[in-house]
Structure 1
Amino acid sequence: MMGLSDQAILEQLQALDRMHHLHPFTDPQAVKKAAPFVIEQAKGAYITGQEIRLLDAMAGLGCVNIGYGREEMADVAVEAIRTLSYYHSFSAVSNPYAAALAGKIASLAPAGLNKVFFANSGSEANETLIKLAYLYWRRKGQPSKRILISRDYSYHGSTLATTRLNGNAPMIEDFGLAGGDDVLQATSPFWYRCGGDLEPEEFGLAAARDVEKKILEAGAENVAAVIAEPIQGTMGAIVPPDSYWPELSRICTEHDVLLIADEVVTGFGRTGHWFAQETFGFEADMMALAKGLSSGYAPISAAVISDEIADVIEDKGGVLHHGFTTSGHPLASALALKNIEIIETEGHVEKVHADIGPYFSKKLKTLEDHPLVGEVRVSGLIAGVELAKDKRSREQYPLEASVCNHVGQMALVRGLIVRPAGNVVVLCPPFIITHAEVDFLVGVMRDALDETQRALESS
């Protein structure tokens, strides 16, 4: 990579980017007003760009679990490209890396989830699961089961189908995707915002039973699946009450509705177990995996289905008319295998569960005494710092006040990357973060909150 210490080269790249690069989840006008920040390199838990070094408390987009710039990952990439740069997996063709990776995922997955379909992103994995759910019910002679139930504050992807599942109004309304009765939204288990006077465990049961209400209103004979993130990461690191997931699982089983666990963020150790299903005590019929599968070193995702679903799909025969050019790509599969090996051999899941996760939680929760903080939610190495205009009533700041964005900017100028999400500061650091780096993170967050409070008081 060319060095960006040369100001002329940097400005040329920024000009090209501004003219030709349409950025995801970015206001194009913002790029026109200010040159994009060009990141040149990354190592460990830090990224560097334009001679600025930042601790990345978001691990990219909650994906770089093993940290940046691992030499062993580079070695695997070189070997895979030299050995088998590409071949497809259509028409019963495989490659050593994809075959081994499918077996590895099945060996780690919760019991009964043994069949793996490879894709390239969490969106594609979730859309694959939707199609497989439809196929399953059709082959069982129940084609009327087409309705999908999602939840408020959910995020399942950016394809046409997965966008409609999201609890993010602008993503739906901007593209004219609202309407239709095949996707229903249920209450999120977001106690802080939605719990009212109920205790958290009471509210967890009530939120699960709102899903049941939606099933009964639609008719269970018409509902294909409930799709839900164990922790709703993108919209605020929403950690559900402990009562929620066992009750939701019971409801789906009772009404013969498939349960899809979107473990794109939580899979591969984020919550201190290999999968959040273990953390929250439930078993899904299907699950989506992506971010932590390769730690972001290559685009890859997996749609994993139960033996029972696979048996119905396979025993009926016929071609599975679904797939992607790069499904099971040799390079991506090789990197995912090595990533999982690193997580295993370095004991990261155990460390998140018993060491760095509890330390992260203990230190971060000290921020709950700050006047701007309503609560701090933590599970393993994912957290949400909820801002509150009034701590007693749990009143939010109006979004147009951009209070959360101000906190994020104040953290950034102090050397820390976090993710503002409405009125929540989301943190999702790499597994390799140290105790000292957690201390730095929490100190910066307190300074950023103090600076924001002063700005609010002076306005």
Structure 2
Amino acid sequence: MTDLSNSRTRDTDSLLHPYANAMALKENGVQMISRGEGIRVFDDTGKPYIEAMAGLWCCGLGFNNAELIEAANEQMAKLPYYHIFSGRSHETALELAEKIKALAPGNMARVLYQSSGSEANDTQIKLAWYYNNARGKPQKKKLLSRMKGYHGVTIASASLTGLPYNHRDFDLPLDIVTHLRTPHHWREAEAGESELEFSARLARELEETILAEDPETIAAFIAEPVIGAGGVIVPPEGYFEAVMPVLEKYDILMIADEVITGFGRTGEWFGSQSFGYVPNSISMAKQLTAGFAPLSAVAIREDMASAIEENTGKIGSFGHGFTYGGHPVSCAVGIRTLEIYERDDIPGHVKRVSKRFAAHLDRLADHPLVGQARHAGLMGALELSPDGSTRMFDRPMLTGAKVAAELTARGVICRAIGDSLAFCPPMIITEAEVDELFDPVEDALNAAHDWARSEGLA
């Protein structure tokens, strides 16, 4: 039997950890998480932490839901694996697809499964290309994304992502992608520019980019309803209302990346519903199974589905799919997850409890280390500043990491995204638990502020 008595340091000799400085981990070790219960996880010493990021934005029902465990066990005993290739299928894949179609906006007609959000967005690119080839527009291949947008880490989806650390030394992004301005009014607006004016300017910039690139070469625009891993950036008033007519004018697909915002996170079933637009296709993952099993899905509208299906008849096959796409155990967990969301009205619960969540964030906006508080449903962030203005730190990322460390020491796991503190707790969180989550935040900010002043950062 393997001896894990020194697991905190031994782990760094076994794994290459994503999104981490490997040399720092070798020196400091890693935090080992051993179990979960409700909105909390426990480390290997038994210390509890409120998991204020729902893991990686995904455990909407917390960390020990007995119904999801039961669904996985039942399906494992019945049919632990099968595929949906070459004319075969199984009931759980079909049933979940029907549920997704019933909940998704825009009369989605077909569902295609993968295992991760990255694979879903990679699939979106291939579908956009296949669709345009099928309808006789093979030149429409370029893709539009946004700076700070996050769409995955495969070669193609990482190219859509607008974050430098996803590109550096990976020889990315591919030249098929053009990144547009981040829709971050607080930081990007001109002096005196209202949110509506800012949105109108971004729509004009979008059209100028389309014309410069040639509309007949652009396949799709991908956007998260709320930018998640780029800092929980909530779109300004009127943003999607301004953008959508431009895309429609030039026959450009709108891909909604709902990997984080899907299934109640913003207080509606999908984030695109919260912000008043209807996409051509949707990527979803994470809370599709409440994080209990790996599964993602792409849903497309009837016009895309018909063109794609007719083209398979012409060329003989649809040459795309994943071994574990539509895995019966994952689909069974997804079915039960959506049943719980509906039965317990999780979107309605989020809408109610998010008022308390927003009030805490707004209160903390007055802290001298905070420049802006922002939120949508149960997603929120505090963007830090050396003096409460839009000015950035001379040495970025240090202060955000310090606040996150101070919060961890106080029993709350959040995420520092540069110098923004992100919060995305399990959607089952109660108002009392929201209060518990935010109880130590001001103390952590105070400690980090003292440290930042001692280091000459604030």
TM over 0.5, yes or no?
Answer: yes
Tell me which residue corresponds to 1:386. 383
Tell me which residue corresponds to 1:284. 279
Q: How far did 1:384 drift? A: 1.2
Structure 1 residue 402 corresponds to structure 2 residue 392: no
CA separation of 1:196 and 1:389: change in aligned 2, threshold 3 A: farther
**Conserved in 1, the CA contact under 8 Å of 2:97 and 2:111?**
yes
Tell me which residue corresponds to 1:321. 319
**Conserved in 2, the CA contact under 8 Å of 1:149 and 1:211?**
no
TM-superposition CA deviations, 1:176-215 (whole Å, max 9, x none): 12462x2111111111221121122211221233222211
1:70 corresponds to which letter in structure 2? N
Aligned match for 1:261, one of 256, 262, 265: 256
Structure 1 residue 446 corresponds to structure 2 residue 442: yes
Distance 2:108 2:78 in 1: 31
SS of 1:217's partner is helix
Tell me which residue corresponds to 2:364. 367
2:429 corresponds to which letter in structure 1? I
Structure 1 residue 305 corresponds to structure 2 residue 300: yes
Tell me which residue corresponds to 1:61. 56
Distance 2:394 2:331 in 1: 44
Structure 1 residue 241 corresponds to structure 2 residue 239: no
Distance 1:381 1:306 in 2: 28
CA separation of 1:331 and 1:399: change in aligned 2, threshold 3 A: farther
Q: How far did 1:43 drift? A: 0.9
SS of 1:315's partner is helix
Distance 1:390 1:113 in 2: 47
Q: How far did 1:73 drift? A: 1.0
SS of 2:380's partner is strand
**Conserved in 1, the CA contact under 8 Å of 2:9 and 2:26?**
no
Distance 2:6 2:449 in 1: 39
Aligned match for 2:179, one of 185, 190, 209: 185
SS of 1:288's partner is strand
TM-superposition CA deviations, 1:136-170 (whole Å, max 9, x none): 00011000001000111111000001111111112
Tell me which residue corresponds to 1:196. 190
Distance 2:424 2:9 in 1: 31
Distance 1:319 1:235 in 2: 38
CA separation of 1:178 and 1:70: change in aligned 2, threshold 3 A: closer
**Conserved in 2, the CA contact under 8 Å of 1:375 and 1:385?**
yes
TM-superposition CA deviations, 1:211-254 (whole Å, max 9, x none): 22211111110000001111110010000112101111111111
Structure 1 residue 41 corresponds to structure 2 residue 35: yes
Tell me which residue corresponds to 2:17. 23
Distance 2:412 2:207 in 1: 42
Tell me which residue corresponds to 1:331. 329
CA separation of 1:344 and 1:189: change in aligned 2, threshold 3 A: same
Displaced runs of 4 or more, over 6 A: none
Q: How far did 1:399 drift? A: 4.2
Alignment of 1:352-363 (within 5 A): 352-353=350-351, 355-363=352-360
Distance 2:303 2:342 in 1: 29
Aligned match for 1:293, one of 280, 284, 288: 288
**Conserved in 1, the CA contact under 8 Å of 2:113 and 2:296?**
yes
Tell me which residue corresponds to 1:419. 415
CA separation of 1:35 and 1:10: change in aligned 2, threshold 3 A: farther
Structure 2 unaligned blocks of 5 or more: none
SS of 2:160's partner is coil
Taking structure 1 as the reference length, the TM-score comes to 0.95
Distance 1:178 1:428 in 2: 28
SS of 1:40's partner is strand
Aligned match for 1:139, one of 134, 156, 176: 134
**Conserved in 1, the CA contact under 8 Å of 2:350 and 2:427?**
yes
SS of 1:261's partner is strand
2:354 corresponds to which letter in structure 1? G
**Conserved in 1, the CA contact under 8 Å of 2:397 and 2:418?**
no
2:408 corresponds to which letter in structure 1? L
Identity %: 37
Distance 1:193 1:414 in 2: 30
Distance 1:220 1:142 in 2: 11
Distance 1:14 1:439 in 2: 31
CA separation of 1:62 and 1:401: change in aligned 2, threshold 3 A: closer
TM-superposition CA deviations, 1:96-140 (whole Å, max 9, x none): 111100000000011321210000000000010110000000011
Aligned match for 1:157, one of 152, 155, 161: 152
Greater mean alpha carbon deviation, residues 449-458 or residues 65-74: 449-458
SS of 1:211's partner is helix
TM-superposition CA deviations, 1:284-314 (whole Å, max 9, x none): 0011000110011000000111111001111
**Conserved in 1, the CA contact under 8 Å of 2:158 and 2:173?**
no
1:232 corresponds to which letter in structure 2? I
Tell me which residue corresponds to 1:343. 341
Q: How far did 1:32 drift? A: 1.2
SS of 1:164's partner is helix
Q: How far did 1:16 drift? A: 4.5
TM-superposition CA deviations, 1:252-297 (whole Å, max 9, x none): 1111100101000000000000001110000100110001100110
